[in-house]
Structure 1
Amino acid sequence: GRTASGTSTWQRDGTPPDLAVSLPSVDGRHGWYVSEVDLSATATDAISGLSVLNGSLDGGTTWISFPVHFTDGEHLALIHARDVAGNEVTVERRIRVDTVAPVVQIKSHVNGNVVQGGVHLSGSLEDATSGPEGGKISVDGGHTWFPVSLHTDTWSFVWQSGEVPNGEYTIQMRGLDRAGNDSAISTVSLTVDNAPPAVSITERWWIWETGTLRVSSTHFPIESIQVTIQDPQKRWKEVVVDFDPGRNSYTVKWDRRFADGTLAPAGEYLVLAVACDVNGLCGQDAGRIVIPEMATSTETISPSPTATSTVMSSATPTATQIVPAPTLALSTPMPEEIPVPAQSSLPLWQIIGLLGLLMVIASASVVDPRPKALERLGETLKMIAQTKDNSSNNK
């Protein structure tokens, strides 16, 4: 038989290949990339040599070669290497990419809205990939930014507009997603109108006087001025007068009649002045017209600067009771030798004159109830008595 001889060398390989994965540094926040990413891998095997190097993005169902390009989204990449001896190694990398900025909107207001006091601003902040993280708002043209409250994809902020003067303001809102992308700025123009027109009217005045109304705007033009005179007991229809808003000072005078023609009795009547600007914000002030008990439409008393509770004299006469003075009967003693003739009655002209004099005195006493009237009456009676005695003596 034939024989053969020789040698062979066998090498054991129980070590998997050396695998290296290459990814760029994360350029976003919270492990997110804000730009597209390329993944590459290398592998070596010093013993049996490298047989396979590939990757999978679907959990190992399909395998692809490197490099692999990643766009927006969350990705799980499997990187696999096998040597000739059949040793394998697989590593995984989670790659999160968000290159799209969030979208922010202001939904609580639209351009031109008029606001006052605490303004509740709100809107949406949406991001489909990494999700919204927060937002900031500015009410001074972007010089100062304040954080907003965020609940899921809805933001809110309360702006104290009373801290700024009346005027036009541009509200700016911007959002931020978890990857670190800033949204475009959303804006809305709002009108702050916290200070109403200044209104001032005379506090109190007599019915025969006039009140003064003064109105001034705080920023926006005045659209309407209205004065209402009303009965505090609501018995008669109120008087409403509109004034031209183009002036600053007005005279308020009342003819004492309500809208239904009723002549107002004595008392105090509310005068309400209201001025509104073009945004509907109104200021007001109130005064009172005083009608005294003896006031008439032909009052001639000199007006006072302001009405007071002091009772003023009135030109309207009122009856004043005069206590009658006692009248003494005068008698003249006659000599016994001369018979006393029968006293004759006073002539008609004297009676008429006496009655006329009494009427004049009575009328004068109403206007000027002073003691001089009584003195004149006494003198007149004395003269009449003396005349009567002289007539008797002549007879």
Structure 2
Amino acid sequence: MTVPDNNLATLALTIKAWGRELGFAEIGIAGVDLSQEEAGLQAWLDAGHHGDMDYMASHGMKRARPDELVPGTLRIITARMNYLPQDAGDEWRDREERHARQAANATVSVYARGRDYHKVLRSRLQQLADRIRGEIGDFGYRVFTDSAPVMEVALAEKSGIGWRGKHTLLLNRDAGSMFFLGELFTDLPLPVDAPVTSHCGQCSACIDICPTQAILGPYRLDARRCISYLTIELKGSIPVELRPLIGNRIYGCDECQLVCPWNKFAQRSSLPDFDVRNGLDAATLAELFAWEEDEFNRRLEGSPIRRIGHERWLRNLAVGLGNALREVSADHPGQAAPLITALQTRATHPSDMVREHVAWALEQGRLQL
């Protein structure tokens, strides 16, 4: 579909307005040249910092070449969608920290407590594409939401939505980092937006706070040490030396975001999809550990958590229970009994991996005797 040049700027403004109507906080437009990202991507892969995420390397440099991934692509329409629950109060970061400080509580990353963002963003981006088609007729496009070899942060940065923080996540002056990203690859030669400047300055809070020291330095992340990778992407056993550092984080980790000064500006979602389900903002490790597989699947239908499966769910919870047991055995031994009882229910679990993590967890209590 050919759109006259004098109409493209108007179309771009219209697309941004439609995006806001569909629940996106911001829409940007980027070109396809990510050649400046190729050397860094290759060095990261060569260092093995992607761990078991083989898909990060399997597409070669297509990740940095959008027009090779989708031939004919001229522009990428980037979108961000806030995900803080609608009822998150002004002191939400303090509340998160208070909850996490209680060893027996289960800490789930804020983004994962509601509906699966893949489904929400994909649906809304498709609706955006449908509106464009209704305005100009058929055109070439493809929707992506963390589902293909796409350098989302680089494209969002290029489109002016924000800048890459030292923790490698995108930051926005008006919204911090508590948002999702999605893309619409298109053959429309829309006018592009200008990038914004970085505003991290000399701050190193995200680097300093990382429990596992996964952030090796500014803009350098070793995923193999990242708690989000360990609790979500890693399919096998969690390395023994990293288990004590995970604490009670059972799915993802928000430490580098909670400490970031820019997240005092984090915005609530305009959609109810990301409101908390199943009490995941206040659950204990023991109660979640008691979920059998059918309950896990039923409760977490439509949740991003379900994709790790019940076995890895129990693996993560066993590590959290072990860390809690070690802490309470030292300071509050009377609180150890319910943790031990919970772990013992899985001591003969059919999964070798679950049994191994449960055995490790039980040993953490004995270490304090």
TM category (shorter chain) comes to under 0.3
Structure with higher RCO (Cα < 8 A, 6+ apart): 2
TM-score (norm 1): 0.17
Give the TM-score of the pair, scaled to structure 2: 0.18
- Higher share of residues assigned helix: 2
Higher-Rg structure is: 1
